[in-house]
Amino acid sequence: MTTMYVLDVPENTHLAKVAAEDPAVTVGRIGPYFEITSDAAIVIDRRATGCRHAVWYSAIGGIARDSRITQHDKDALRVEPA
C-alpha cells in the first residue's frame, strides 16, 4: 500500500485531481488533507498539475511509513511501497 497526504488548499487541488486520474489511485480525505492511496506506485506528472516550482516542491503533507518517495523533480512525483 502506498499512502501520501496533501493539504487541501487552492494550490494543491490540481495535484489531487491529477493523482485521481489514475484508476489505481484513490483520493479520499482525512480532516483537511487529501489522502492519496494506491496498491502500487502513485505517480503525478508536474506539468499536468500546472503547479509552479515553489508549490510543487512543498506540496507533500506526509508520507506513510510503509511508503517512500522515489522521485520528486521537475517532471514527476513518484511514491512507492517502501
Partner 1 sequence: MTKLDHRVKGVDHAAFPTFDPAGTVRFYRDVLGFPVVHSICAVGWGPEDHPDFIHFFFDIGNDDRIAFFYYFGTEPFNTGRGDAYSAFGPDVPTYFIRSRHLAIHVDGYEDLMEYRRRLDDSAWPVEMQIQHETIESIYTHDPNGYMIEITRALRPVTPQEDLDANLTIDALLDVVAEPEPSLAKLLARKAELIVDRAPAWELARAGQEAGR
The site for partner 1 (CB under 8 A) is made up of 3-5, 7-11, 30-33, 52, 54-55, 58, 60-65, 68-69
DSSP 5-54: EEE-SGGGHHHHHHHHTSTTEEEEEETTEEEEEESS-EEEEHHHHT--HH
Closer Cβ to partner 1, 24 or 30, answer by number:
30
Closer Cβ to partner 1, 54 or 74, answer by number:
54
Q: How far is the CB of 48 from partner 1 (least distance, A)?
A: 19
Closer Cβ to partner 1, 28 or 47, answer by number:
28
Q: φ and ψ at 74, to 5 degrees?
A: -65, -15
